[in-house]
Structure 1
Amino acid sequence: MYDLIIVGAGSGGYEGALYAHRRGMSVALVELSPETVGGNCLNRGCIPSKYMRHGAYMLEKFQKLEDYGVFLKGYELNMASLRAGRDRVVITIRENFKKFAQHLRIPIFYGKGVLKDKNTVVVEPSGEELKGRYILLATGSSTTSLGGLVPDGKHVYDTDQIWNLEKFPKRMLIVGGGAVGVEFAYIFRMYGSEVVLVEIRDRLLPSADIPEESSRYLARKLKKLGVDIRLKTTVQSWEPCEGGLKVNLSDGTQTKVDLILLGVGRRPNTEGIGLEEVGVERDAKGFVKVNEFCQTSIPNIYACGDITSPLMLAHKSMYEAKVAISHMLGEEDMRRDERIVPKIIYSAYEIASVGLTEDQAEEEGYEVKVGVVSFVSNPKAMDDGENEGFVRIVADEEGNLLGCHILGPHAGELLHQFLHVMKAGLKVDFLSKAMYSHPSLSETIGQASMEIHFGPITWAKRH
């Protein structure tokens, strides 16, 4: 009998396996196939998309090279080379993990893991039974369709199928202006495609966790790059036509494109894995119900990642796996808290958010103080030719840190400086009195903190 059986070797599963091994537990992993180790993030999500996004970012930087005294004579785009480089990174990470698991003597059983009882996982189709003291469910999520837009990998693509493209589309329609849609809009636009981006809500990134200011900045930049953004718009109908697809939009217009890409969310993989039979409770949307220690309704069965809530992020899954395993070992210092999960979007800007927005804080009754500093005058950002965006820190009247929202260069990295200080329970005065190297982007964190702690002196005005 193993101490722990983990069903799913995606981000949460393999992070959990390594953490449990580090803590002295005997672990077994169950994963669908050798090609799916690493899960959606590695194989069809964040890793390959960030590779392509970095290419798009370099193409944008290429246009500024003359400012640095570098004059080049054009360039050529090649999808085959892009795919080869992207796939090489994915395969290397996947194979390295499998080798590392083998080195640590963590077995990976290939097949579908199904609960037989609270201590038994059956690997289908082989029928092999694994016994475990604890079980961690980390089965991830799958793409969904939208009305008459059913992915076929020919006309309508989802985010699992888009990696198979062999050439850049001349013109494409992206449905959904959330994190996925705006990332692909930036990628394909910089690689030369004409992009129409439709979003049914009244702004891009239509999440209460993302400030409206971030949405506005991003929309302006994408439009400047040539993305055709249609808000409060969706697809009414489409049909194949000569040389592509004819699409009727709800704003009364018609557009012709090579393909449609769906970026409209995912559903949890909680069907057909024995949850009902064993008594693991789910909510109305199919997510596994868990407590603050990621424990399900069956005390020795835990769950992490995409199957616990609609906040589907690899790092959330990895953290929840560690929360669950720590609790199995009798510890309660790590707890599940979606408020401290950083949300990073990679598009024409990096956009990073954690905690409450100003609006959310006011709705919760806080007396809000906000410190905003622009990257426009930051010397490091000016040197790098990326002095656009802002740092926005939200605190209460006592200086408790409530949230931070960054749009601009390396926002996803900068956010961690704030995140860990907030998690540690330190206040805005701590950030305002810290030392930051110069020139650095990090200085903006200190400056925004001083705006709150000592009072505002910059151009920024609260609106």
Structure 2
Amino acid sequence: MKFDLVIVGAGSGGYEAALYAHRRGMKVALIELSPESVGGNCLNRGCIPSKYMRHGAYLIEKFQKMPSYGIIPHGFDLDMQKLKENRERVILTIRESFKKFANQLKVPIFYGRGILKDEETVYVEGQDLKVKADFILLATGSSTVSVGGIVPDGKHIYDTDQIWDLDRFPKSVLIVGGGAVGVEFAYIFRMYGCEVLLVEIKDRLLPSDDIPEESSRYLARKLKKLGVDVKLKTSVESWEKTEEGLKVRLSDGSEPTVDIILLGVGRKPNTDGIGLEHLNIKRDHRGFVVVNEFCQTSIKNIYACGDITSPLMLAHKAMYEGRVAVSHILGDKDIRKDDRLMPKIIYSAYEIASIGLTEEQAEEMGYDVKVGVVSFVSNPKAMDDGENEGFVRLVIDKKSGDLLGCHILGPHAGELIHQIVHLMKADLKVDFVSKSVYSHPSLSEAIGQSAAEVYWGSLTWAKRH
């Protein structure tokens, strides 16, 4: 059984690569663990179900603002079973559509663990099947990890794979980790009526160099305002089961009791047991497959995409890298992976979106930095919508006018950031943005105004320069 391309993993990256390869005339096949895991972590246990619940949390927050619009609500009830049923319906619909579409395109999906046997052969474990191809793309995704002695058991301690099995809302939850996953679930559980304690071992939420400290401060204030107990520079030392629940001892000496613990401490690449050692495919010290700008591994006809290539574990990154790999296989040299142009979006009490460099990163790299900042406080559309919190922050190279980065916190930040993604990819400069037309009233006006702050001169509260 011979194909032009065989893809190991039918998650976001693998499926997107398969469709793109088919579109460009390749004979392609997918290998995936089971019919229930098609769509990968994002669809089944990550982005899609969490954004479904986050939207519910957002609606609850909006419900509380209804009196401002002359709508007097008379309360509501929460039903975890209804939430779970409809969340699963969305996942099932997408998953079955994936499989149906692949079948219509005559892209076969072989079920079982895909293991590399040689440079042109993948063995499908469980089917005793060998699939041959001129090229192979590895897209095997990632798995949850535990921390310290806190091991998920699906009863008292949950990871982000197990949390979807909850049949009722807990009265209280301890979330370990203040990164993107932790702050999202903190908002979800709090808005659904749970008491939430969020602990982060570092000195701020979202402790990433790619996220401005300003965004972290805004989010921490909002979560605390909503009633989330945020503890920074704090870790879990031990826990025990008692009649009242789980008694947890924290590094600050406190001993809260909660119903459940949720681990949101990151993931590891699924690079063990798929034959990488057999072919001596290079990995780094953390287990990530080493790839070049075309997503090519140390073996020229074997490529990799998604969570197994770097700690930047984003579904859209996997999808883009899948297209980069297929393009290179077909001889294109103008499409390259560039993490600088990869948008990073966090969904919590605010949407927080970033691309490119922060002000601090740019200065460390030697740029003469200029910053344009515009608040949503006075944005008419944001005021109309009752969401006039946050900001747009543009980071510019003063000498060239190049867009070095953009950081947006506030309403629909995850959609707004794409304007800057495309501007940066097209190498357009701040003068172009400042001279563009934006409809009024719109949230997008803030982007044009932030560019004007840099190009024409400051009128608002830019930090410096």
Same-fold call, TM cutoff 0.5? yes
1:244 CA displacement: 1.2
2:440 corresponds to: 438
1:417 corresponds to: 419
Letter in 1 for 2:414: G
> What is the 5 A alignment of 1:212-251?
212-251=213-252
Q: Where has structure 1 moved over 2 Å in runs of 4 or more?
A: 459-463
Match of 2:405 among 403, 406, 409: 403
1:386 CA displacement: 0.2
Letter in 2 for 1:301: I
Letter in 2 for 1:245: L
Partner SS state of residue 326, structure 1: helix
1:6 corresponds to: 7
For 1:383 and 1:85, the matched residues in 2 are separated by 30
1:272 corresponds to: 273
- In the alignment, is residue 127 of structure 1 matched against residue 128 of structure 2? yes
- In the alignment, is residue 285 of structure 1 matched against residue 286 of structure 2? yes
> What is the 5 A alignment of 1:10-409?
10-397=11-398, 398-409=400-411
Residues 111 and 124, structure 2, Cα contact 8 Å, conserved in 1? yes
1:462 CA displacement: 2.4
1:243 CA displacement: 3.0
Cα deviation digits, residues 176-210 of structure 1 (max 9, x gap):
00000000000000000000000000000000000
1:336 CA displacement: 0.9
Unaligned runs of 5+ in 1: none
For 2:99 and 2:123, the matched residues in 1 are separated by 21
Cα deviation digits, residues 370-421 of structure 1 (max 9, x gap):
0000000000000000000000000111210000000000000000001100
Partner SS state of residue 35, structure 2: coil
Residues 371 and 462, structure 2, Cα contact 8 Å, conserved in 1? no
Cα deviation digits, residues 297-348 of structure 1 (max 9, x gap):
0000000000000000000000000000000000011101111110000000
1:72 CA displacement: 1.2
Partner SS state of residue 372, structure 2: strand
1:460 CA displacement: 3.4
For 1:141 and 1:103, the matched residues in 2 are separated by 29
Partner SS state of residue 129, structure 1: strand
Partner SS state of residue 21, structure 1: helix
1:461 CA displacement: 3.7
TM-score for the superposition, normalised by structure 1: 0.99
Cα deviation digits, residues 407-447 of structure 1 (max 9, x gap):
00000000000110011101000100001011000000000
Partner SS state of residue 254, structure 1: coil
Letter in 2 for 1:429: D
1:459 CA displacement: 3.4
- In the alignment, is residue 451 of structure 1 matched against residue 453 of structure 2? yes
For 1:353 and 1:126, the matched residues in 2 are separated by 44
For 2:185 and 2:335, the matched residues in 1 are separated by 35
1:278 CA displacement: 1.4
1:56 CA displacement: 0.1
Residues 356 and 404, structure 2, Cα contact 8 Å, conserved in 1? yes
For 1:301 and 1:332, the matched residues in 2 are separated by 17
Aligned positions, number: 463
Name the Cα RMSD after superposition. 0.7
Residues 269 and 307, structure 2, Cα contact 8 Å, conserved in 1? yes
Cα deviation digits, residues 348-380 of structure 1 (max 9, x gap):
000000000000000001000000000000000
For 2:238 and 2:350, the matched residues in 1 are separated by 32
1:119 CA displacement: 0.2
Unaligned runs of 5+ in 2: none
For 1:38 and 1:194, the matched residues in 2 are separated by 32
1:460 corresponds to: 462
Letter in 2 for 1:432: S
For 2:5 and 2:464, the matched residues in 1 are separated by 51
